[in-house]
Amino acid sequence: MNPRRDFLLCRGPPMAPYGNIPVMPAVMPGAHRCDGPLPSPGLSELSAFEPNIHHTPGETHLSYHGPPLAPPYGSIPATPAHPRHGNPLYRGPPVAPCSSIPVMPASTHRDDGHSSTKLSALAAEFHPASTQIDPPHRNPSMGPRGHIPTGPRNYLGQHSWQPQSRSNYHRSRHGGTHHESDAPHGYPPALAWEPPRFHHRHPYIDHIANMPYQSPLQSNGNGGMPPTSAFDPFITTPNTMTPGGVGPVSANPYSHDPAAAMGGAFFANPAGFQQPVQYHLYAPIGPHNQNTMGYQRNVHDLFLPNDLREELQKKAAATLQTLPNTQLPAQVDYFHSLVPLDLSHQKNASTFGYPSWIYKAQSSKDGCFYALRRLEGFRLTNEKAIRSVQAWKRVCNGSVVTVHDAFTSRSFQDSSLIFVTDYHPLSKTLAEQHLNTGNRYPARPNAPISEQLLWGYMTQIANGLKAIHANGLAARVLEPSKILVTAKSRIRINACAILDVVQFDTQKTVADLQRQDLVNFGQLILILGTGQPAVQHNLNKALEVFGRSYSPQLKNSVMWLLGSLQKEQERNIDTFITGISSQLMSTFDSALHMDDQLNSDLCRELENGRLVRLLSKLGFVNERPEYELDQRWSETGERYFLKLFRDYVFHQVDAAGEPVVDLGHVLTCLNKLDAGTDEKIHLISRDEQSSFIVTYKELKKGFESSFQALLKPARRMH
């Protein structure tokens, strides 16, 4: 496997230990060229949000043509941007760092020779809210928060950076103890905060101390440092949070029973599954029909396809639609909020013997929406007639609109018979779809139905008829206006049960009615294939026209159905289904493809619900005005970091001071928070006076404990 691709799919660059360097310009004067794999490839293609980022598929670096980027794109830089960084002799203005340097406080140096590093990373008493760096030498060249100045570079000699021990670099100004007067916001220190793993450092210096490797620093020809080790982006040390460290996955991470999960054959290597689960590794699940490289993603990959979302939203809106000031009855038995679904006021009684109207209504029993079909002026003479609907309740089939109930009503100021069926929002009838009837969809030429679609319709209707006949019933009404198209190519037999009630006293046997179903079925296909609603008047002519457009197999199938009334040969739906079995397979295969596609779409949304929960938790904690009478709760302890993290995620600005609206950045950060990765990020207080380097793991810990604090039972206050 191409290691680069492997990395990219895993979305973690090999630049451990700083982990992911999200999109950041690599080709900049003086900048180290990032020849490694694309950082955060999963989201780096969200270029719609990042106008300055140009990503050429297949290349492993980013070309950058814009101004230096502010930190939104950068976590902790992986390369020393310039020799000045870390040079304690440097007294010039804050230098426009290479673009990979994150936002930093305006001043971190003092002329008195004090180290600018303020806090020992290991200081036991460290309280993040009370840490402070020196009062800033505010330099006019310093832009707004998050703005990296881009002015002329001023190099004061070349200072070779010498790796030093961490302890040297992290001297505490106050011997590692906390002084409350240093608190930037005057906040009291948090009580239950475990600080040791948060580091407050000089951002110019300390990030260098942690460089995983050193590369020659280029700076206007002033020389550079020899590399201490060659960097190969495709070689990585195993790290639990880097892709190189992912290794073989061995057990089902979601199983509550690790023993059982380990024993399963699902994961190849039982060496142990990594914790925490790396939620931020989105695995693209097929089918893949995009013409993109393996590591490329765009924002649409993380959400439902637009057309599907639009369709579902429209259906939801249609379902919830109400009709104020209507003259319809407010209540019909246990239904209310009626909305008519017919758009035509002209109703003929040809199908049922009574004019029929159809409404969407909400049930007071269960709150669900149903379709009510009303037969106007119907008088029930035989109680048994309406009980025949009971048998229809047993018909549960994907190709039949389910019948739920039937009752008579006087709510419409007449005697009406009401049938309650499933409601399928925004459905059309086959007649509306293909025969241009109804005025909801204005006239347009009838497009001929493809043979494949016609076979699809036939198999679905056959499926519905099989279920109906198997229950000892007959559909009785099989015509284009009584077949619902509920989704693309998806149809259902509608208006079942009605003739059973209305023509209860009919003398015909069920067997006769079922045979008639087959004939009606044949006529229906003929109507759809020829586009002529009145084929029964001249079947031979219609068959001839039909035969010109469709295969002999399809025509023969229709003829077989039309001949179902012939007594000499027993014909039933099962025989028919056996006859068209080859077509059933192809329809079945289409259904499987559809199923795969929907599964894949579902996977895109899979993690979004989790992110909403994450955001909700953050919202509960961030800026909380008061907790247990402590008005500074959300500004102290780990909550303070969460606040800065919120700023880091949402409130960054670019070099021009413009808000960075980058969904990719947001998703990346939130996922890493949820996964609790070891990657470090640089948080800056709003007044730019405090700067912290924290790992997502630490953030997650603080995040969880803050949220759990909110959940604990309220203390009794006396």
Ligand X SMILES: Nc1ncnc2c1ncn2[C@@H]1O[C@H](COP(=O)(O)OP(=O)(O)OP(=O)(O)O)[C@@H](O)[C@H]1O
Q: How far is the CB of 684 from ligand X (least distance, A)?
A: 56
Is there a binding annotation on residue 187? no
Q: Smallest Cα–Cα separation from 604: which of 180, 262, 182, 298?
A: 298
Subset of 273-302 contacting ligand X (CB under 6 A): none
Q: How far is the CB of 360 from ligand X (least distance, A)?
A: 7
User: Running DSSP on this structure, what letter comes out for residue 95?
Assistant: P
- Tokens matching residue 46: 């969200």
Q: Smallest Cα–Cα separation from 71: which of 4, 170, 143, 168?
A: 143
Q: Which stretch binds ligand X (CB under 6 A): 306-314, 479-487, 581-589, 684-692?
A: 479-487
* Complex with ligand X: residue 280 or 428, whichever CB lies closer: 428
* Complex with ligand X: residue 419 or 546, whichever CB lies closer: 419
Q: How far is the CB of 318 from ligand X (least distance, A)?
A: 9
Q: Assess 476 for contact with ligand X (CB under 6 A).
A: no
How many whole angstroms separate alpha carbon 108 and alpha carbon 356? Answer: 81
Binding ligand X by CB under 6 A: which of 11, 127, 482, 571?
Answer: 482
* Complex with ligand X: residue 31 or 484, whichever CB lies closer: 484
Q: Assess 320 for contact with ligand X (CB under 6 A).
A: no
Q: How far is the CB of 411 from ligand X (least distance, A)?
A: 19
Q: Which stretch binds ligand X (CB under 6 A): 79-87, 238-246, 481-489, 523-531?
A: 481-489
Binding ligand X by CB under 6 A: which of 249, 299, 308, 358?
Answer: 358
For 529, residues 6+ apart whose C-beta sits below 8 A from its C-beta are 449, 454, 546, 549, 550, 554, 558
Q: How far is the CB of 468 from ligand X (least distance, A)?
A: 16
* Complex with ligand X: residue 241 or 431, whichever CB lies closer: 431
User: Running DSSP on this structure, what letter comes out for residue 659?
Assistant: B
Subset of 335-354 contacting ligand X (CB under 6 A): 341-342, 347-348, 351
Q: Assess 424 for contact with ligand X (CB under 6 A).
A: yes
Is there a binding annotation on residue 564? no
* Complex with ligand X: residue 495 or 669, whichever CB lies closer: 495
Q: Which strand (E) or helix (H) includes residue 409?
A: strand 403-409
Subset of 645-704 contacting ligand X (CB under 6 A): none
At 339, give phi and psi (nearest 5°): -130, 125
CB atoms within 10 A of CB 606: 14
Is there a binding annotation on residue 422? yes
Per DSSP, the three-state class of 390 is helix
Residue nearest to ligand X (CB): 371
* Complex with ligand X: residue 78 or 375, whichever CB lies closer: 375
Q: Smallest Cα–Cα separation from 119: which of 207, 165, 178?
A: 178
* Complex with ligand X: residue 345 or 718, whichever CB lies closer: 345
Q: How far is the CB of 496 from ligand X (least distance, A)?
A: 11
Q: Which strand (E) or helix (H) includes residue 710?
A: helix 696-711
CB atoms within 10 A of CB 274: 17
- Whose tokens are 């707004």? That residue is 144
How many whole angstroms separate alpha carbon 526 and alpha carbon 544? Answer: 10
Q: How far is the CB of 472 from ligand X (least distance, A)?
A: 23
Q: How far is the CB of 344 from ligand X (least distance, A)?
A: 6
Is there a binding annotation on residue 429? yes
* Complex with ligand X: residue 279 or 352, whichever CB lies closer: 352
Q: Smallest Cα–Cα separation from 291: which of 58, 3, 488?
A: 58
* Complex with ligand X: residue 422 or 630, whichever CB lies closer: 422
Is there a binding annotation on residue 347? no
Binding ligand X by CB under 6 A: which of 69, 205, 484, 558?
Answer: 484
Is there a binding annotation on residue 616? no
At 43, give phi and psi (nearest 5°): -120, -5
Is there a binding annotation on residue 425? yes
Is there a binding annotation on residue 228? no
Is there a binding annotation on residue 482? yes
Number of residues interacting with ligand X: please give it, by CB under 6 A. 24
At 98, give phi and psi (nearest 5°): -60, 160
Binding ligand X by CB under 6 A: which of 99, 399, 429, 652?
Answer: 429
How many whole angstroms separate alpha carbon 588 and alpha carbon 582? Answer: 10
Q: Smallest Cα–Cα separation from 197: which of 709, 708, 692?
A: 692
Q: How far is the CB of 505 from ligand X (least distance, A)?
A: 22
Q: Which stretch binds ligand X (CB under 6 A): 52-60, 477-485, 588-596, 664-672?
A: 477-485
* Complex with ligand X: residue 347 or 410, whichever CB lies closer: 347
Q: How far is the CB of 371 from ligand X (least distance, A)?
A: 3
Q: How far is the CB of 351 from ligand X (least distance, A)?
A: 5
- Tokens matching residue 53: 């980022």
Per DSSP, the three-state class of 315 is helix
* Complex with ligand X: residue 38 or 495, whichever CB lies closer: 495
Q: Smallest Cα–Cα separation from 521: which of 490, 483, 550?
A: 483
Subset of 364-423 contacting ligand X (CB under 6 A): 371, 401, 421-423
347 within 8 A of 357, measured Cβ to Cβ: yes
Binding ligand X by CB under 6 A: which of 131, 172, 362, 427?
Answer: 427
Q: Which stretch binds ligand X (CB under 6 A): 133-141, 249-257, 425-433, 510-518?
A: 425-433
How many whole angstroms separate alpha carbon 171 and alpha carbon 122? Answer: 10
Q: Is the peptide bond before 152 cis (omega within 30 degrees of 0)?
A: no
At 259, give phi and psi (nearest 5°): -60, -45
68 within 8 A of 203, measured Cβ to Cβ: no
* Complex with ligand X: residue 141 or 351, whichever CB lies closer: 351
Q: Assess 438 for contact with ligand X (CB under 6 A).
A: yes
Subset of 489-528 contacting ligand X (CB under 6 A): 494-495
**Can you give the three-state secondary structure of 537-585, one letter per residue?**
HHHHHHHHHHHHHCCHHHHHHHHHHHHHHCCCCCCCHHHHHHHCHHHHH
Q: How far is the CB of 366 from ligand X (least distance, A)?
A: 17
Please state whether 574 falls in left (phi above 0), alpha (psi between -120 and 50) or beta: alpha
Q: Smallest Cα–Cα separation from 130: which of 635, 616, 703, 659?
A: 635
Bridge partner residues of 363 (DSSP): 335
Binding-site residues for ATP, please? Answer: 373, 422-429, 481-482
Q: Which residues would be at the binding site for ligand X (CB under 6 A)? A: 341-342, 347-348, 351, 356, 358, 371, 401, 421-424, 427-429, 431-432, 438, 481-482, 484, 494-495
Binding-site residues, please? Answer: 373, 422-429, 481-482
